[in-house]
Amino acid sequence: MNRRDFHAHLAWLAAPVMGAALPAGAQAWPARPVKLILSQPAGSGPDILARYVADQLGRLWQQPLVIDNRPGGQNVIGAQAAARAPADGYTFYYATTAAMVTNVFTFKSLPYDPVKDFAPVRLIGRSPFVLAAASGLPERDLQAVLARAKARPGSVAVGTEGPKTFSGMLLESLAGTAGVQFNHVPYNKAPDALQDLIGGRVQLVCLPEAAVSSYLKGGQLKALAVSTARRLPQMPEVPALAETLPGFEFTGWNGLFAPAGTPPALIAQVNRDLERVLAQPDVAERLLTLGTLAEAHMTVPQFEQFMRAERERWAGIVKTIGLQAE
């Protein structure tokens, strides 16, 4: 074997080893459209938000991001599809708190494991909830409503999206912390609860800020409190629940996850690219109008720690409100 053949042979032997050190197509990634799986239907709040973020990432990557809506089963259908997707960097799961944390406590068994089947990529934003009343409610503030609920248990009917949804668990946690008893009225859809509120069939609703914002702006509803630890910049006149119940904070969130086994280097790149997108003032402002507070900075290790803390926090909440898995 001459010198040229010898070096060619060495290069041929080294090629598979060098290729194995990097994810397939890593230098050209993304070389084709990237899919984002959602557990919510088209037109829902998370869907609108995800499409906006996907559009911003698509401009950065110069590749389209395709939204794959898999609604149903309280997020189980979408989460299961994402967990089974190839770990090649071309499929991600745009998830909310329910799929990755609270489902563990509301289902006796799940066909996916939020910890083992997914790799956290980045927190995108936090979604505040609002305790809102019809504009004609006699009580002017949250303290007066709580006083009424304490004096006459069950006299205040509050609409939520169900006892095992985020809004339902928020309400039960609020009632337990305040030492009152509400008449908890579950709805399948937020618009139904809002119509009943306007029609006087319930006195309050506990729903995502995005679901009630247009009603608040139109003067049909008045906000009594927001679920964040501090007042929201877009609603500075509305008190935070923590102002009445110190330490009380209850926000949903949305984040990006990859199927377990996705190369760490690729996850780190997506994290950095999301950081660039969310750092843009116009992007943060747009997310705010969609009911989400953009997370300005969060590394992959920080998001992993955030997820561990969320699971521990929710274990305590579920125990406190006595929620039973079914």
> Residue 3's pLDDT is what?
41
Q: Is the pLDDT score of 310 beyond 90?
A: yes
Residue 141 falls inside a structural domain = yes
Residue where one domain finishes, among candidates 185, 216, 244 = 244
Residue 302 falls inside a structural domain = yes
The pLDDT tens digits of the residues spanning 205-248 come to: 999 998 898 999 999 999 999 999 899 988 999 999 999 999 89
If asked whether residues 134 and 237 sit together in one domain, one would say: yes
Residue 179 falls inside a structural domain = yes
If asked whether residues 85 and 150 sit together in one domain, one would say: no
Interval 65-90 mean pLDDT: 96
Residue type, 138: P
Give the separation between CA 62 and CA 46, rounded to whole angstroms.
Answer: 23
The domain of 43 spans: 33-127+251-321
Q: Is the pLDDT score of 22 beyond 70?
A: no
Q: How many domains does the chain have?
A: 2
If asked whether residues 238 and 152 sit together in one domain, one would say: yes
Residue 28 falls inside a structural domain = no
Q: Is the pLDDT score of 20 beyond 80?
A: no
Contact residues for 176 (Cβ-Cβ < 8 A; gap 6+) = 320, 321
Assign 19 a pLDDT band (cuts: 50, 70, 90).
very low
- HEC string for the chain: CCHHHHHHHHHHHHHHHHHHCCCCCHHHCCCCCEEEEECCCCCCHHHHHHHHHHHHHHHHHCCCEEEEECCCHHHHHHHHHHHCCCCCCCEEEEEEHHHHHHHHHHCCCCCCCCCCCEEEEEEEEEECEEEEEECCCCCCCHHHHHHHHHHCCCCCEEEECCCCCHHHHHHHHHHHHHCCCCEEEECCCHHHHHHHHHCCCCCEEEEEHHHHHHHHHCCCEEEEEECCCCCECCECCCCEHHHHCCCCCCCEEEEEEEECCCCHHHHHHHHHHHHHHHCCHHHHHHHHHCCCEECCCCCHHHHHHHHHHHHHHHHHHHHHHCCCCC
Q: Is the pLDDT score of 274 beyond 90?
A: yes
If asked whether residues 142 and 190 sit together in one domain, one would say: yes
Residue where one domain finishes, among candidates 216, 244, 272 = 244
Q: How far is CA 23 from CA 18, 34, 54, 258, 273, in A?
A: 10, 15, 22, 14, 18
If asked whether residues 280 and 240 sit together in one domain, one would say: no
Check residues 6 and 198 and name the one with the higher pLDDT: 198
The pLDDT tens digits of the residues spanning 182-209 come to: 999 999 888 999 999 999 999 999 999 9
If asked whether residues 88 and 104 sit together in one domain, one would say: yes
Residue type, 212: V
Query: 223 - beta bridge partners?
Result: 132
Residue 234 falls inside a structural domain = yes
Give the separation between CA 255 and CA 86, rounded to whole angstroms.
Answer: 19
Residue where one domain finishes, among candidates 188, 222, 244 = 244
Query: 34 - beta bridge partners?
Result: 65
If asked whether residues 113 and 168 sit together in one domain, one would say: no
**CATH number of residue 273's parent domain:** 3.40.190.150
**CATH number of residue 212's parent domain:** 3.40.190.10
Q: Is the pLDDT score of 321 beyond 90?
A: no
If asked whether residues 218 and 294 sit together in one domain, one would say: no
Q: Is the pLDDT score of 11 beyond 60?
A: no
> Residue 8's pLDDT is what?
40
> Residue 27's pLDDT is what?
57
> Residue 158's pLDDT is what?
98
If asked whether residues 170 and 302 sit together in one domain, one would say: no
Residue 4 falls inside a structural domain = no
In the chain, what percentage of residues exceed pLDDT 90? Answer: 75
Check residues 13 and 276 and name the one with the higher pLDDT: 276
If asked whether residues 88 and 149 sit together in one domain, one would say: no
> Residue 5's pLDDT is what?
44
Interval 283-306 mean pLDDT: 94
If asked whether residues 238 and 295 sit together in one domain, one would say: no
Residue type, 84: R
Residue 178 falls inside a structural domain = yes
The pLDDT tens digits of the residues spanning 30-53 come to: 999 999 999 999 988 889 999 999
Give the separation between CA 259 and CA 89, rounded to whole angstroms.
Answer: 8
The pLDDT tens digits of the residues spanning 100-141 come to: 999 999 899 999 999 999 999 999 999 999 999 998 899 999
Interval 7-35 mean pLDDT: 55
Residue 16 falls inside a structural domain = no
If asked whether residues 57 and 206 sit together in one domain, one would say: no
